[in-house]
Structure 1
């Protein structure tokens, strides 16, 4: 995926701004695929008969699978020029997610720190994963590295916008 004019720079955000993503329904295929990818075949996730004997009475999604789904949802809410996830500062898994649950993310800018001599910045985000009933199932803080608008980049963008057309028509 490449960035477009639609993607926001570090400079475009203010502390306190927040976004809510669209929803994503968790499927049994998601759980099985995550088990295969991660190697986590704990029966609480993949064995319906075993899960009947647990407090949940049915399989639950892996906590990290839900975290990963939320990471994808956060890519466009807001659409950022993200370079890297730097760290998970704090994270809580507070409610189970079941097959058929629909989750969305809430992302809020908590802090901005300029890095790389103004070429990039670190954003501390509060993120919450919320289910279809409005219950927060996971929440915490993550830090990402995001491109800044640099004077050279700004000048190049401005020159590209004001350059005469080369269509050959006079």
Structure 2
């Protein structure tokens, strides 16, 4: 798919990412990078007796994976200036090792800026697991170039 520029974006446009399975390696590596070794993520024995019944993936890990899945769409590769903000992000349900997640994105707002070569795009992002349950949700705000401003 060609890049979408601010001029091309329309409220209501939707994009679905590819899906990705959360692995044991993802959780262990993220714990190492982030320093978050909480038992929720690292202690299988303790979590077996918890309300979750097993270890859960870091919420921030899933959010990070979603930013990567969104980037893999390639729809803003040529036009993005900045990933500017995450708004109202909510963690609605646990994601377990072995769950497969994808993101559904919808443009909900377009704003002009004081600079004529760019604009702001707000997208609602819902992260769903393999059962279709929304596990995370919020808004991601990006700044895009206008055509001819490249």
Structure 1 length normalisation: TM-score?
0.82
Per-residue CA deviations over 1:73-97 (Å, capped at 9, x if unaligned) read 1113461122222111211100110
Q: Which has the higher contact order (CA 8 A, sep 6+)?
A: 2
Preserved CA contact (<8 Å) 1:19 1:78: no
Q: Choose 1 or 2 for highest CA Rg.
A: 1
Q: Residues 58-69 of structure 1 correspond to what in structure 2 (within 5 A)?
A: 58-69=54-65
Distance 2:10 2:40 in 1: 41
Preserved CA contact (<8 Å) 1:109 1:125: yes
Q: Does 1:74 find its partner at 2:70? A: yes
Distance 2:11 2:116 in 1: 18
Residue equivalent to 1:135: 133
Give the CA RMSD over aligned residues: 1.5
- 1:7 Cα deviation (Å)? 2.0
| Number of corresponding residues | 148
Distance 2:23 2:41 in 1: 12
Q: Does 1:52 find its partner at 2:61? A: no
Q: Secondary structure at the match of 2:67?
A: helix
Preserved CA contact (<8 Å) 1:90 1:142: no
Residue equivalent to 1:98: 96
Extract unaligned runs of 5+ from structure 1: 154-170
Q: 1:45 to 1:96 in 2, by over 3 A?
A: same
Distance 1:115 1:39 in 2: 38
Per-residue CA deviations over 1:107-142 (Å, capped at 9, x if unaligned) read 000101122522111111100001000000000112
Q: Is the helix fraction higher in 1 or 2?
A: 1
